Amino acid sequence: MSKRDQLQAALKALAPQHLEVLDESHMHSRGLETHYKVVVVSPLFAGLNAVKRHQRVYAAVGELMGQIHALALHTYTAEEWASLQAVPASPTCQGGSKSH
């Protein structure tokens, strides 16, 4: 099972109404299955600030976090998502590889 699939399975613990897990490793210089963008819409985020939402995501992902270099999180309630329906584009990689 790919890391993307493992992330999707782990994030189901958040009862998502919408879930996207995008492997953006191709945009970076650290190799395969290292950079991900996650969009999660969940009722569990109601009343929580961004830090607490991200903590919930990290708890759901658990030990898998140790295998990922970067995880861009976009966490919303259903109401927030209904007004947005899109997330910001990921930035272009600025390097950061130890091989440079």
Give the Cα separation of 74 and 63 in Å (integer): 20
Neighbour tally for 59: CB within 10 Å:
12
Note the pLDDT tens digit of each residue in 51-96: 999 999 999 999 999 988 888 999 999 999 999 877 777 766 555 5
Q: What is the span of the domain harbouring residue 53?
A: 3-84
Does residue 9 sit within a domain? yes
pLDDT of residue 98 exceeding 50: no
User: How far apart, in Å, do the first and last CA atoms of the chain sit?
Assistant: 30
Does residue 72 sit within a domain? yes
Which residues on adjacent β-strands are paired with residue 71? Answer: 36
Does residue 92 sit within a domain? no
Neighbour tally for 6: CB within 10 Å:
16
Give the residue, 4 or 25, on which the prediction is more confident: 4
Q: How many domains does the chain fold into? A: 1
Element (H, E) at 53: helix 50-61
Element (H, E) at 70: strand 70-76
Does residue 91 sit within a domain? no
Look up the CATH number of the domain holding residue 16: 3.30.300.90
User: Which pLDDT belongs to residue 99?
Assistant: 42
Does residue 89 sit within a domain? no
What's the chain's average pLDDT? 86
DSSP tally for the chain: helices H, then strands E = 3, 3
pLDDT of residue 26 exceeding 90: no
Q: What is the pTM of this model?
A: 0.81
